[in-house]
Structure 1
Amino acid sequence: MNESDPALPFSALGLVPALAQAAATQGYAQPTPVQAAAIPLLLQGRDLRASAPTGSGKTAAFVLPLLQAWMQTPRQQPRRLHTLVLVPTRELATQVAEQVQALAAGLPEPPRLVRAIGGVSINPQMLALRGGADIVVATPGRALDLVTRHALRPDGLRALVLDEADRLLDLGFADELQLLLRRLPAARQTLLFSATFPPAVQALADGLLRAPAQVEAPAQLAALPDIAQRAIVVDTGRRTQLLRHLIAAHGWPQVLVFVATKLACETVAAKLRKAGLAAEPLHGQLSQGKRSQVLADFKAARVQVMVATDLAARGIDIAQLPAVVNFDLARSPTEHVHRIGRTGRAGASGVALSFVPAAAEAHFRLIEKRQGLAVPREQVPGFEATEAAPPVVSDPQGGIKGRRPSKKDKLRAAAAAAAAKP
C-alpha cells in the first residue's frame, strides 16, 4: 500500500482526540506520509512492513496507534505486557522511550513504560518490572535476559515492533532475536519499521508477518533537497587535516564524523582535541554512562565534534545538525543512507560529505549506484590528492575484489533463501 493523503488531520486517521492532540503538541501539524499510511492500518490490527526515510516520523507512526490499542485494552493486575519495542542500540531505545512518554503524557492514565538496555546493571530494570509493565522498549539481548529471568513476562503480548528492522534481522542480532521470538506468543500484531529493507532481509522480514500490509514512503532520503551530498577526493593520510580545515572554513558549530573502527574513533578524536577542538569519541566499547554523557554533551553543543562508529548511524536525533562527514565510507549503501540521515532532519538543511581516497573510489561508486546518486568529485585547494588507485584484483570466481559479496553477505543471502522456502 502506498501513502495516504498527508493533508488529513490526525483525527481523520481514527485517533482519539487525546492522541491527536498529543501529536500536535509534539510538533506534527499534520501527519507525515508514513503516519498517514500506517496509522489506519495499525488501528485495524494489521501486521505491517513500513519503509520510510529517516526523520520522517516513523516512531510516532507506530507509537500513536499502539497507545490507542493499549487504551482500549482492559486493565489487569499485575499489568500484562501489551507492547514490546525492540531496537538495535541503547541510544535508539532511549529516544523511542522518550517519544512514547511524550506522546502519552496527556492521557488520563499514561502507560507504565520500562526501558531495558544492556551495558548497565539489570537489577534496576528487574525492579522496574515488578508488578508488570504496559510497554517495554528494549535491545534484544537485554529483553532476552529479562524473559529468561522471568522478570519480563510476555505471555499477554499484543504487539511486537522491530524498529530499524533491517539491522535487527542482520546476522549480528539473529541468534538473540530468534531465541526471544520463540518465547513470544504467536497471536500478536507484528510491525517492522525501517528506512531500508535490503533484498536479503525482506524474506526474513516477511517470515515474521501474517498477511501484512506494506507502506512505502515515496521519497528516497538520498534525493531529498535539504541534504546536499559532496564527495571530496583526498589522500588517506590527510583526512584529519582536511576535516579540521573544513570545520574552520564552514564554521560548523557541530559536526558528526563517521569512522570505521573503535581505534579510528579514538585516534581521530584525540587528534582533533590536540588541535583545540572539543571532540569526543562514541563507540560500542565505551561504558553506557560515558556514551550517554558524550551524546548529551553533543546535543547540548558542549562537544563540537562527535567521532562515531555506525553505532551513531541510527537513533540519534540532533536538532539542526548542520553536517555529517564520512571520514571512512560506510560499509554498505544501506548504512550510508542511515548515516547521512542524521542531518537534514525535520525540514532543516544539512550537508553530508564523504572523503574518497583513491582506494575507496570503487566502493563509493557502488554506493552511488545503489542509491541512484551521481555526486561530483571535488578537490580542496591545498589538499589535492596524489595517491593512485590500487590495481584491480581479479576474483578467481569472477567479479572484482571489494565488489563481490562478503562472507556475511553470503550467509545473509543463504538465510533469506532458507526463510523463503515453503
Structure 2
Amino acid sequence: MTFEQLGLIDPILQALKTEGYTTPTPIQQQSIPVVLQGRDLLGCAQTGTGKTAAFAIPVLQLLYNERQAGNHPRGIKALILTPTRELAIQIDESFAAYGRHTNLKHLVIFGGVSQLPQTTALKQGVDILIATPGRLLDLMDQGYIKLNQLTHFVLDEADRMLDMGFIHDVKKVITRIPAKRQTLFFSATMPGEIASLANTILTNPQKVEVTPVSSTAETIQQAVYFVEKNDKKQLLIHVLKDPAIKSVLVFTRTKHGADKVVKDLQKASITAEAIHGNKSQNARQRALTNFKSGTTRVLVATDIAARGIDVDNLSHVINYELPNVPETYVHRIGRTGRAGASGIAFSFCDTEEKEYLRDIQKLIGITIPFVNDHPYAMADTSLVHIKKSLPQKPDNRHRQRNHGNNGQRRNFRGSDRSDNNNRQRNHPHPQARQNSQRTEEAERW
C-alpha cells in the first residue's frame, strides 16, 4: 500500500514525498482511513511504529478541507496532549513537515521556559496546539487559551501520562473541551486505569492494535551481559571500544546515575552527554541536537527524558541499569529498530537485577540471549531464580546468535524455559515493586 491509496490530498502527499515517505507503516495504514472518516480511535502500538504520522496526517487533512470549504472559524481546532517537552517538540516538527503546504498554523507549548513567546504566538492565532498538561492548564487559567472551537483531541502516550502522575491534569483538560469532538487515544500499553479513561472519553471507537501489547520489535537484536554492579563502568567502556557502535543511547534509572556515567565516559575520552529533568530545556535540546548530528556519540538518559527521543538510524541501546518496571524495557529498546529498521539492545544485569530480568522476559515472552565471554563476566550467572516464570513457547532464533566486537565471536546463549509457568511467585521486595516506579526516575516535567 502507498500513501496515495489512503486518499490523501496533494499538499500532504507532496510533503510526504519531500520527507522521503513512500509506504505507510501498519498503524498508519489502519488509522489514517478511520480518522479521515471522523471516527474516534483507540490506538495501541509500541513506540517507534509511526504513531505521530498516524494522527498528524489525517488531522491536517481534515482541517485543511474544512478551511477550503470556508468552515473554519478562528480558534484552536486541534489539541495534541503529550507528556514530555521533547515529545511535544518532535510532534510539532512532524506537523511542520507534513503540513508545510497547508498554511495551517501550529504551536508547541510546555513548561520550564518563559511563557512570553508562547502567549505572543497564541495571540496571533493557532489552528493546532501541541502541549504538555501543566503549561496548558496554566495558560488556560490565565485566559490565553480557549478551546471552545476544538474539534479534534489527541491524547498521546497515555500510559506515560499515568506513569508521570499527569492523569489528573489530563482529566481536568477533558472537562474543559467540547463534548462534541473527535478523540484519538494512543497508548503503548493498556493498564486498567488507562483502559478506564479511554472508555470514558471515546465514543464507539475503532481499535487499532498493530502489535501485541508490551512486545518488542522483531528487528531488535537483544542480549544480556551478567556483570557485578561495580564492574558496569568498565564493561560499558569495553563495549564501546567496538567501532561499529556509532551512536548509542544509554539508560540509567536516576538522574544522578546518568551524570555519573557521563563523567566516567568522558574520563575514558568517549564523547557523552546526559539528558534528564534536572537539565535546563536549552541544555537538553543542545545534547539531543549534538547526538542527532553525531557530535556526541553517547547520550545517557533517564526513562522519562528519553520517551520523546526519535533519532534516525540509532544503532544501539544499552540498559546500564535494568528498569524495575518491565514495560519500561519495551519503551527503552524501542528507541532503536524503529519503523522496521534493525537495532541492537544490550542490557547489563547485576545480581540484584536478576528479578527484574525475569519479569522482563516474562512480559515480552522470550528468553533474552546472554553474552558469556566478556572480561567482566559475573562469577555466578545462574538463572535458577529466573527460570521459574519464563514462558514455555520456543523461540529458537534467540537461542544462539553471533555478534562481532573487535573481531571476536560471541555466543548468545539463552536460558532454559520453565515447565511450570503457572507456579505462583513471590517477589523478594514486594513493597519496592509497588513504590519504585515513583522514585527519582519519575521526574516531573
Same fold (TM over 0.5): yes
What residue number does 1:324 align with? 317
The worse-fitting range, judged by mean Cα deviation, of 330-339 and 169-178 is: 169-178
Deviation per residue, 1:143-169 (Å, 9 max, x gap)? 111111111110110111111121123
What residue number does 1:185 align with? 178
The change in CA–CA distance for 1:85 and 1:338 in structure 2 (over 3 A counts) is same
Match of 1:16 among 9, 13, 21: 9
Match of 1:94 among 84, 89, 114: 89
Q: CA deviation at 1:387?
A: 6.5
> Quick one: which amino acid aligns to residue 86 of structure 2?
E
Partner SS state of residue 357, structure 2: helix
Q: CA deviation at 1:264?
A: 0.3
Alignment: residue pair count? 398
What residue number does 1:57 align with? 50
What residue number does 1:400 align with? 427
Q: CA deviation at 1:407?
A: 4.1
Instruction: Return the alpha-carbon distance in structure 2 between the equivalents of residues 171 and 243 of structure 1.
Output: 29
Contact 2:217 2:334 in 1 (8 A): no
Identity within the alignment, %: 40
Matched, 1:298 2:298: no
Q: CA deviation at 1:76?
A: 7.9
Instruction: Return the alpha-carbon distance in structure 1 between the equivalents of residues 66 and 115 of structure 2.
Output: 29
Partner SS state of residue 24, structure 2: coil
Contact 2:38 2:182 in 1 (8 A): yes
What residue number does 1:259 align with? 252
The change in CA–CA distance for 1:306 and 1:116 in structure 2 (over 3 A counts) is same
Instruction: Return the alpha-carbon distance in structure 1 between the equivalents of residues 371 and 429 of structure 2.
Output: 23
Instruction: Return the alpha-carbon distance in structure 1 between the equivalents of residues 43 and 197 of structure 2.
Output: 14
Q: CA deviation at 1:381?
A: 3.0
Instruction: Return the alpha-carbon distance in structure 2 between the equivalents of residues 404 and 210 of structure 1.
Output: 38
> Quick one: which amino acid aligns to residue 260 of structure 2?
T
What residue number does 2:108 align with? 115
Contact 2:220 2:337 in 1 (8 A): yes
Matched, 1:82 2:77: yes
What residue number does 1:417 align with? none
The change in CA–CA distance for 1:185 and 1:216 in structure 2 (over 3 A counts) is same
The worse-fitting range, judged by mean Cα deviation, of 364-373 and 375-384 is: 375-384
Contact 2:82 2:88 in 1 (8 A): yes
Partner SS state of residue 157, structure 1: coil
Partner SS state of residue 346, structure 1: helix
The change in CA–CA distance for 1:300 and 1:124 in structure 2 (over 3 A counts) is same
What residue number does 1:232 align with? 225
Matched, 1:276 2:269: yes
Contact 2:214 2:363 in 1 (8 A): no
Deviation per residue, 1:69-105 (Å, 9 max, x gap)? 1112246897211111111111111111001000011
| Structure 2 counterparts to residues 326-365 of structure 1, below 5 A | 326-365=319-358
Contact 2:189 2:214 in 1 (8 A): no
Instruction: Return the alpha-carbon distance in structure 1 between the equivalents of residues 16 and 242 of structure 2.
Output: 39
The worse-fitting range, judged by mean Cα deviation, of 9-18 and 38-47 is: 9-18
TM-score by length of 1: 0.88
The change in CA–CA distance for 1:305 and 1:135 in structure 2 (over 3 A counts) is same
Deviation per residue, 1:184-214 (Å, 9 max, x gap)? 1111111112332234422222222111110
The worse-fitting range, judged by mean Cα deviation, of 174-183 and 362-371 is: 174-183
Contact 1:77 1:131 in 2 (8 A): no
Q: Which runs of 5+ in 1 are unaligned?
A: 1-6, 393-397, 412-422
> Quick one: which amino acid aligns to residue 265 of structure 1?
A
Q: CA deviation at 1:285?
A: 1.1
The change in CA–CA distance for 1:77 and 1:225 in structure 2 (over 3 A counts) is closer
CA RMSD in angstroms comes to 2.6
> Quick one: which amino acid aligns to residue 270 of structure 1?
K
